[in-house]
Structure 1
Amino acid sequence: MFRKLFTEHGAKDVITLFHKPNNAASTRTLTLLKQWSANSESTATEDQASQHETQSKTDPQFELDVTEAPPTVDQLKNILEYVGSQNAGSIISGARDTTSALQILKEDSGRFQRPIIVNWHQGKVVVGDDQSQILSLVKALSKDA
């Protein structure tokens, strides 16, 4: 779906944060991802040029997509595929499987849990603000380069 985003500097993986501004966990997650993204985009000086290639491998670059909207039907299907249909309740409150999750989202998008971070390229999802899981998801980008 969001395999790669092409920029003037090359391709970056897309990480989407489904965000809710008045949710403290979501705000912490947004801050963490913004910091990580900013650090990964800092450029090397001429003195650091020889080290820049190494830095780019340890600090994966990604495009951070932040949305307050619930996922589209296709996005939700992908997310549920990534986490497994049996874990639908962690994504949509009260869902038992993909079918019920899609129905609930259609009827009441407020039951979509936030924060949810999705690495579309690798098919990985983190629900909540567990910092170690989020950083693990981001660090996995460099392993795929």
Structure 2
Amino acid sequence: MSFRLNIALPILTLIYNPACNKCNKTLSILHKVLEQHPDAFKLDILDYQKQPPTKDQLRNIVQYLNIENDLNKILRNEDGTVKEGTGPSSIQELTNLVKEDPIKLQRPILVDWDKGKAIIARPAEKVDGFLKELGYLKE
């Protein structure tokens, strides 16, 4: 008699904008990894403009990125609207800002909920190093 243990795969979430070239490049890299290693992890794709991250998700992501003291680092500032010292000062303010104007959120963000790690994948090539660091890819 043989049996297989029911092992749950870790879940990685890509916080993603389908209109963003960097997001699409990151998604392409992740799909290639999964083609080569289909049992490495399960990929969850979150279109943050349709469904912004929740307050709890943002709190965890900020902790995983180790940016609790500078919440501006999770915001895009290409237009110069977020001045130093003027951004959100709490997770609640960050949550409200992202709900009001989701495009302000940095993207893409790749999150490993099980290992408590996240990365802002800019440039997209940072994903390979992140996956190696987490043990999903071999050197």
Work out whether the TM-score is over 0.5. yes
Question: More displaced, 32-41 or 119-128?
Answer: 119-128
Aligned to 2:79: none
Corresponding residue for 1:14? Answer: 11
Given that 1:124 and 1:137 are in contact with CA atoms closer than 8 Å, whether structure 2 keeps it comes out as no
In the alignment, does 2:68 pair up with 1:85? yes
Partner of 2:40: 61
Q: Secondary structure at the match of 2:69?
A: helix
Residue 117 of structure 1: SS of its match in structure 2?
Answer: strand
Structure 1: which 5+ residue stretches go unaligned? 1-7, 42-59
Q: Give 1:18 deviation, angstroms.
A: 0.8
Q: TM-score, normalised by structure 1?
A: 0.69
- In structure 1, C-alpha distance between the alignment counterparts of 2:33 and 2:114, rounded to whole Å: 18
Letter in 1 for 2:42: E
- Of Structure 1 and Structure 2, the greater helix share is in 1
Q: Tell me the SS of whatever aligns to 2:63.
A: helix
**What RMSD over aligned residues (CA atoms) do the two structures have, in Å?**
2.2
The answer for the alignment partner of 1:136 in structure 2 is 129
Q: Is the 8 A contact 2:23 2:124 kept in 1?
A: no
Q: Which segments of structure 1 move beyond 3 Å, counting only runs of 4 or more?
A: 93-100
Aligned-residue sequence identity (percent) comes to 28
Q: Distance in 2 between matches of 1:98 and 1:40?
A: 39
List alignment gaps of at least 5 residues for structure 2.
77-81
